[in-house]
Structure 1
């Protein structure tokens, strides 16, 4: 099992998962995502922020049926097939760094960041202050940019 160097479970899973599983909840995050986060953290040499429970940001990693984003989708009778519910996606920010440059770094180095396959369109997510990546199969080479 891969041992994540820079991230703890509480940063990567929702509070409902952490409450039940504690630090062992990291097992629900895809190894590919953990490797990506550690690699990017080493390349940038600064912290990367996913969940920040102290400020109310709690659904940027693993999401479950108990989490608001999923519940709201279901209430509206919408199908929710996000990679987040599989532990195969992460939304993150890097304070003090140009997020557009970071998204370009990732997309332009698919051999370095080869454990991810997709990035949500940065023109959309950067306006919200984060980058979304996941490892859902695309059948394409490189990192596929998709629209939500």
Structure 2
């Protein structure tokens, strides 16, 4: 879930976990998922990118060619870093913007470029959160607890 206008409060994560949600995308802080401490359940912050969001870019009068350029540059860096540990590249799209006839080819160009590389997992935030919870959540929470104990 991405809150309306990214407007969550400090209670939002707990309310989301209580409602059975497993992730949110309101915190634009990293390129890897991280666990969020909640009172009950498990909640993950799945990376979201405002930089690769077509809405602010196109509203600031950038166009499709620039969008394609920065998406490819972002991918190249994350792909390089991802050789060590997986990365998430979120491209936030709005069909009423990127779907315009004069822009659609740029999205096709970006996706073709990305998918031409080996080992790319084209997926959804749901799948990322489920995979993270199944494979890394508990380990990450334990590591954070160790760090907190060491700092105390």
TM-score where L is the length of structure 2? 0.24
Q: Specify the structure having the higher radius of gyration (Cα).
A: 2
Decide which structure has greater helix share.
Answer: 2
TM-score where L is the length of structure 1? 0.25
